[in-house]
Structure 1
Amino acid sequence: MNWSLKDAKNRLTEIVNPALTQGPQRVNRGGDSVVVISWDEYVRMTGEKPSFKSLLMDGPDFEGLDLERSQTPMREVE
């Protein structure tokens, strides 16, 4: 359904409820528009993003990677 911004400001609950049960609701302001959708619809459209922890845990295997710090000085020490 399409809503004007003026109506949307005064009737937010009437926009949110159908967004949750019926689908996206469009709000117009002049020539611009936004869409109100449920969180579940947003996740479905964008895909759930993995957490930082899962990216680290499921990421590449660093076995064999040399993480030892070089003991050589970076500059002359006086």
Structure 2
Amino acid sequence: MNKHWAVQDAKAKFSELLNACLEEGPQVVTKRGHEAAVLITIQEWNTLKKLAKPSLKSLLLSEQAKGDLVLPKRGQGAFRKSIKL
């Protein structure tokens, strides 16, 4: 069961919060009555990281996506000449 901790209680009783996380599972920290953060075990964190999909940006910028394409450094690309009408 997820227990909710007010931020001031979480700060004052961090050891208790950590032990509750390890023994009972994720613990929710609230700020001004709104859920703000969750404390989870490192095992849960590592599992979530493995399950997370990469973003489109990271996929497009990956070495595999670049292939033989040579990308100019930012601000050094070729510019189109303006056409006067």
Q: What range is the shorter-chain TM-score in? A: 0.5 to 0.7
Cα contact 2:26–2:39 (8 A) shared by 1:
yes
* Alignment correspondent of 2:49: 46
* Cα distance, 1:21 vs structure 2: 1.9
State the TM-score, normalizing by the size of structure 2. 0.52
State how far apart, in whole Å, the 2-side matches of 1:3 and 1:18 are: 11
Cα contact 2:6–2:30 (8 A) shared by 1:
yes
Aligned residue-pair number:
51
Where does structure 1 lack aligned partners over 5 or more consecutive residues?
49-59, 61-78
| 1:33-57 CA distance string (max 9 Å, x none) | 1000110110112218xxxxxxxxx
Same amino acid, percent of matched pairs: 29
Output the aligned Cα RMSD. Answer: 2.1
State the TM-score, normalizing by the size of structure 1. 0.56
Where does structure 2 lack aligned partners over 5 or more consecutive residues?
52-63, 65-85
